[in-house]
Chain A
């Protein structure tokens, strides 16, 4: 079983704050790293898939970076809005496995 860790477990910020959280994964045999956004009472939705060391992806105010050599990815949200409140999941894929999901970071953005 692959170990995919996300931190912090939860985060509470004020509207307009920028925030970031971390996904750590095994650095050996890397294949891909996925980020998903999961709103309460809905299903997870794909944000990014990242494959190359140094990859940087952006979607509106959300961006992600990838370091495969040290085994981590950061997700950044610039100017958080209440609608950004959700759980953010990362999922790691090695060369020999299906996706392994982290437990997620729960973000709450207060107006």
Chain B
């Protein structure tokens, strides 16, 4: 298994509170991604990073921010959580943006977030 951990694994929070999810990798992979998974929508990209301090928006970035100050850590922050952000969040990593094989993504175990 790729060395990817996510913390916390489960979280219950209230509307309006800030929430930070952490993704940690031990593979020294350049690319890191945050997805959310919702019934009927599959996996949707929130933000991704292609290097330390280099990030870009995905399909559903509104209400989320990210930071990557070290290769191994990619943080996802919900500045003011809303009930629509109740979801399962997956972090993924890939080796590089080079060959298609190097773009194979390896997923973390997921974080289940409930916003009341």
Contact = CB atoms under 8 A, between A and B. Distances in A.
Contact of B42 (A31, A32, A89, A98): A89
B58 to A, nearest CB: 7
Chain A interface residue bracket vs B: 20 to 34
Interface of B: 33, 35, 40-45, 48, 58-59, 90, 100-101, 103-110
Interface of B is mostly: mixed
B108 A43 contact: yes
A98 B48 contact: yes
B106 A46 contact: yes
Given A103-B40, A103-B41, A49 B101 contact: yes
A43 B110 contact: yes
A49 B100 contact: yes
> Which 7 pairs show the lowest CB-CB distances between chains A and B?
A32-B100, A43-B107, A103-B42, A101-B43, A46-B104, A51-B100, A44-B107
B110 A98 contact: no
Nearest to A32: B100
B100 A93 contact: yes
Given A34-B105, A44-B43, A101-B44, 19 more contacts: A31-B100, A34-B103, A43-B108, A44-B90, A49-B100, A89-B42, A89-B43, A91-B105, A93-B100, A93-B103, A98-B48, A98-B58, A100-B59, A101-B35, A101-B42, A101-B43, A102-B42, A103-B41, A103-B42
B92 to A, nearest CB: 8
Contacts of B105: 34, 44, 46, 91, 99
22 contacts: A32-B103, A34-B100, A34-B105, A43-B108, A44-B105, A44-B107, A46-B106, A49-B100, A49-B101, A51-B100, A91-B105, A93-B103, A98-B45, A98-B48, A98-B58, A99-B105, A100-B45, A100-B59, A101-B35, A101-B42, A103-B40, A104-B42
Interface of A: 1, 31-32, 34, 42-46, 49, 51, 89, 91, 93, 98-104
A1 B61 CA distance: 13
